[in-house]
Amino acid sequence: MHHSEPIDIHHIFPRSWCEKNSIKREEYDSVVNKTPLSSKTNKIVGSHAPSVYLSSLQKKASIAEERMDKLLRSHVIDPDALRADDFDKFFQTRHKMLLERIEKAMGKTLLYDDKSLEDVEPTELDEEL
């Protein structure tokens, strides 16, 4: 796939939104809360809540919610958590899913310090990956 504009790594839940909602810096600045985006898309995201910017992105790109959900899942993002502005659910689910992908790629089991990752309920993301 060719992109005409540069792709960079940006926050999924914007920094200013996280700060206003008392999200810890080590969480909102974590790789778990970042994904590749074009600068054009990042400008639409701005400092808005995900529920707000998703709607704007869908309108500008003229795509249905189902297509947007598929795009989000391709970034290992739970669309329901994002649409609900639920940072905690988003973070725990994505953290677990990214670690599982790393395990699979390495062919090794990772040792977890945080037992809470084992308690995250499977989502439809698990089924699709």
Residue 67 has pLDDT above 90, yes or no: yes
Residue 126 has pLDDT above 60, yes or no: no
Residue 123 has pLDDT above 80, yes or no: no
Q: Is residue 122 part of a domain?
A: no
d(CA 97, CA 127): 11
d(CA 64, CA 62): 7
Q: What percent of the chain has pLDDT over 90?
A: 63
Report helix, strand or coil for 35.
strand
What are 4-46's pLDDT values in tens digits?
A: 778 889 999 999 999 999 999 999 999 999 999 988 888 889 8
Q: Is residue 75 part of a domain?
A: yes
What is the pTM for the complete model shown? 0.79
Q: Is residue 2 part of a domain?
A: no
What are 45-62's pLDDT values in tens digits?
A: 989 999 999 999 999 989
pLDDT of residue 91: 97
Q: Is residue 119 part of a domain?
A: no
Structure tokens at 90: 């988003």
Q: Is residue 15 part of a domain?
A: yes
Q: Is residue 53 part of a domain?
A: yes
Q: Which domain holds residue 30?
A: 7-90
Work out how many domains the chain is built from and give that number. Answer: 1
Q: Is residue 106 part of a domain?
A: no
Q: Is residue 109 part of a domain?
A: no
- Answer for the pair 85, 50: CB distance below 8 angstroms, yes or no: yes
pLDDT of residue 116: 44
d(CA 106, CA 58): 35
Q: What would you report as the CA-atom Rg of the chain, rounded to the nearest whole angstrom?
A: 15
